[in-house]
Structure 1
């Protein structure tokens, strides 16, 4: 994949089964809310971020294939080759319009994009998110699905830790959200409002998932 081209569809042929194996063989992942995901059309999966495994776990749990925006530092060596071969998109977190433009092209083609809008691993409360997800949603008209990912890091585990095998994980897909620009509203105001709406939806869904599953967030 190059940044000028859409990820090839064949990248999903092998990576989707690998995602399933991660969730259901290496780990024991309970998945809820899959019916909230539209069966067709562009979708942005926006998940909270507590662990290295959040993206792969969300990828394996989703009912539709997605291309995840992954920080460029991960695209090195063997892992970098795997990420490219599985159709993921490299993004510079300091500001990368080209990656967002490619994400928009993916959405315009009716596919799905995954993003962890908190940007860095933390408590996973979605207290703050980047405006990149809002830009994608506004510019593409894609439906946003908030995704709560729990169990990939618990208690006082270090942010760089990998959960032990066969741990129980939880992935919950929340109610769909659509954000649009309002008449007479400037681009900046629209962006800030859309980001606030997405943040509130994701933060609320994460808290609902914590209550429903009994799985707490890590103690950052």
Structure 2
């Protein structure tokens, strides 16, 4: 069951269990409308997405649109980790009803456990590990992806999302309809615990391995598509958690 709590002048929807699989059945069609009706989205690399088994989609973060665009582009349904204070009002109802997972950037063990529950049943989780909207180059990231990969055995698929923000556009910019967007799925990465090292060291090494793979994938995608990353004068956030 789910409960609500009052915060910031509105009722926030929170979870008490992993969201059920069936809730994602209408989020991907909506994502595809966004990708191919509202915008023009070129998708490549779907053959890299494992057809079965748990998958973590780890994407760079430029805009509010990144999560929905990724959902519409993927060949599998996914539950995306979204900043918890988005779960209020009509948008909160949409996010909750489509099976997304609220996460508090200040540190949220329960959100990771819910995401692990999704992976343990063989389903997919989407995560934006940079933690906040920025240049999208994966220069830094939080440890959520590594923790999930190490504790679930899920494959990590790097995702480059390009065009949702360009040049000097503000972080809050929503691009005009019919803009060309790009989503590129990379080859899956398997993450395992290293024998003879502590859990903390394993986490740090896994996080850096994932970050380097994602950063290299983003660089390759920008070269292949010709779509540059935006310029951004704000420092990259190092908060734990994800922001849409």
- Bin of the TM-score, shorter chain as denominator length: over 0.9
1:127 equivalent to 2:139? Answer: yes
Q: Distance in 1 between matches of 2:72 and 2:170?
A: 23
1:113 equivalent to 2:150? Answer: no
Shift of 1:13: 2.2
Shift of 1:7: 1.4
Q: Distance in 1 between matches of 2:63 and 2:42?
A: 17
Q: Distance in 2 between matches of 1:191 and 1:9?
A: 28
How many residues of Structure 1 are paired with residues of Structure 2 in the alignment? 220
User: Which segment drifts farther, 92-101 or 11-20?
Assistant: 11-20
1:26 equivalent to 2:38? Answer: yes
Shift of 1:12: 2.0
For residues 133-172 of structure 1, what are the structure 2 equivalents within 5 Å? 133-172=145-184
- TM (norm. structure 1) is 0.98
Report the 3-state secondary structure (helix = DSSP H, G, I; strand = E; otherwise coil) of the residue aligned with 1:10: helix
- After TM superposition, what 4+ stretches of structure 1 lie above 2 angstroms from structure 2? 1-6
Unaligned runs of 5+ in 2: 3-14, 233-244
Deviations 1:111-153 (A, max 9, x none): 0000000000000000000011110010000000000000000
State the superposition RMSD in angstroms: 0.8
- Asked if the contact 2:27/2:71 (under 8 Å) is kept, the reply is no
Match of 1:65 in 2: 77
Match of 1:199 in 2: 211
Shift of 1:91: 0.3
